[in-house]
Amino acid sequence: MPKGYAPAVFVSSTCFDLGQVRADLAEFLVTLGLDPIISEYASFPVNPNYDAIANCLETVKTRADIFVLIVGARYGQTPREGKSVTNLEYLEARAKGIPIYVFVNKSVLSFMEVWKKNPDGDYTGIVDSTSVFEFIEALRGNAEHWVFPFEKAREVTHTLKAQLAYLFMDGLASRSRIRSVALPDDLQTLSPRALEILLQKPTGWEYLLFAEVFRESVRALRNRRYDYDYGLNFASSISINEMGPLMNWLSTHTDGMVRVSDSLIRLMNQALPVAFGAPGEPGDPSHLVYIAKSLGAAYAKAIEWGLEFQRIHTDDAYSRLMQITSGMTKNIISEIEEFAEHVHSQLNTAFAREIPEGEIVRLELTLTLTAPDMSEFNAEMERLQGEIC
């Protein structure tokens, strides 16, 4: 979107039973200078190559800045895995990380406790499907947003007016913090969550920032990890059919993996303590981000190392050796993944509580790298050498 455009508000609900609420909400949003995105309106963007559901999900993904979900008595169509269109739109908005405001009809809410005590009861006169209750239960169980009850459309607009004002104030506060801090180039591309940690600087911000960027760096390589799991490499193949050249190739690539392991150790043992800062002193955010991304780069290198073996086309006699060697990074890949998730969980839990002034918090971050089992490799080498001799 070009700079200066009005924020787009995607309104998600079933249409037939909540049509008037949607119309009133659209009119209200226009009076605020916002751009309502409502599927039954002519202004709704349509890609002729997509069906109706795909168009809605794509619009949430590419156009929505704010998401308003209104739940009534109807669950609606269930095109995928038993989830309604509104449910899918909601999940798309959550994945995008935009502000979400949820409104649920009071009369439906009033039956929630009855349904929970008797989920197999007949609620035909209340909802068109008990999936409505299940959806509401999931919404209420999500700590990321509040569920507002409503009876009339004006209650939705009244609540939204207040909530959007708070959102506007949050934006002004964030703008003020950003303008007051001259961020270097390497920090300007941080994710919204990492940037929030950096600007707000909560207790333990150095550790939270490192954990966030590190986990993001690892998760960003999920598809490449799938390539590794399934042995997919679409690069040009390399033919090596003699023992001598094959051993030279293996030696070179094995040295590369050793360097990756050494780099991980230096980053954790030498660089990270310096970046965190001495006790009582603030850490260096640029240094922390560099280390977190370097650990992610080492993880990527371990994956690429394993995938490189998929390029080698060799004689069947050496296929077992190649298979054994290519799996030597399996441990290190899994251990980095587990470490990234564990550190993120451990540090966020540690700093989630109110820490009294003067209390010392001790944290231990240990990345354990298991050396590959060389017994199979050595046995295969002995077999090949015996055949050559």
CB-neighbour burial class of residue 78 (10 A; exposed 0-12, middle 13-18, buried 19+): middle
Model confidence over 298-355: pLDDT tens digits? Answer: 999 999 888 887 788 888 888 888 787 777 788 889 999 999 999 999 999 888 877 7
Do residues 112 and 53 touch, judged by C-beta distance below 8 A?
no
Q: Is 179 among the domain residues?
A: no
342 and 380 within one domain: yes
Q: Number of helices (H) and strands (E), helices first, in the chain?
A: 17, 7
319 and 219 within one domain: yes
322 and 225 within one domain: yes
Q: What Rg do the C-alpha atoms of the chain give, in angstroms?
A: 27
| CATH number of the domain encompassing residue 64 | 3.40.50.450
Q: Model's pTM, two decimal places? A: 0.60
366 and 338 within one domain: yes
- State the pLDDT confidence band at 104, using cuts at 50, 70 and 90: very high
Average pLDDT, the chain: 86
Q: Is 165 among the domain residues?
A: yes
Q: Is 178 among the domain residues?
A: no
- State the pLDDT confidence band at 159, using cuts at 50, 70 and 90: very high
Domain count within the chain? 2
72 and 209 within one domain: no
Residue 120 reports pLDDT greater than 80: yes
Range of the domain at 196: 187-388
Task: Please name the helix (run of DSSP H) or strand (run of DSSP E) that holds residue 70, with its range, or none.
Answer: strand 66-71
Domain end (from 170, 205, 234): 170
232 and 142 within one domain: no
191 and 166 within one domain: no
The Cα 381–Cα 383 span in angstroms is: 5
Question: 2-16, 91-105, 323-337, 361-375: which has the highest mean pLDDT?
Answer: 91-105
Tell me what pLDDT residue 80 has.
61
The Cα 184–Cα 168 span in angstroms is: 26
141 and 210 within one domain: no
Tell me what pLDDT residue 175 has.
74
The greatest distance separating any two alpha carbons of the chain, rounded to the nearest whole angstrom, comes to 89
Q: Is 175 among the domain residues?
A: no
152 and 35 within one domain: yes
Handedness of CA 21, 27, 30, 32 (dihedral sign): negative
Q: Is 345 among the domain residues?
A: yes
Which residues fall within 8 angstroms of residue 274, CB to CB, at 6 or more apart? 284, 287
Comparing 16-20, 99-103, 193-197, 210-214, the range with the smallest average pLDDT is: 16-20
Domain end (from 170, 200, 234): 170
Domain end (from 122, 139, 170): 170
136 and 285 within one domain: no
255 and 342 within one domain: yes
Instruction: From residue 182, give the alpha-carbon distance in Å to each of 162, 208, 386.
Output: 32, 21, 66
194 and 139 within one domain: no
Comparing 132-141, 198-207, 278-287, 310-319, the range with the smallest average pLDDT is: 310-319
Tell me what pLDDT residue 367 has.
83
347 alpha-carbon distance from chain centroid:
17
Tell me what pLDDT residue 223 has.
92
Cα angle 95, 96, 100 (rounded to 5 degrees) comes to 90
Q: Is 150 among the domain residues?
A: yes
Model confidence over 211-232: pLDDT tens digits? Answer: 999 999 999 999 999 998 888 8
Q: Is 3 among the domain residues?
A: no
- State the pLDDT confidence band at 125, using cuts at 50, 70 and 90: confident
Q: Is 133 among the domain residues?
A: yes
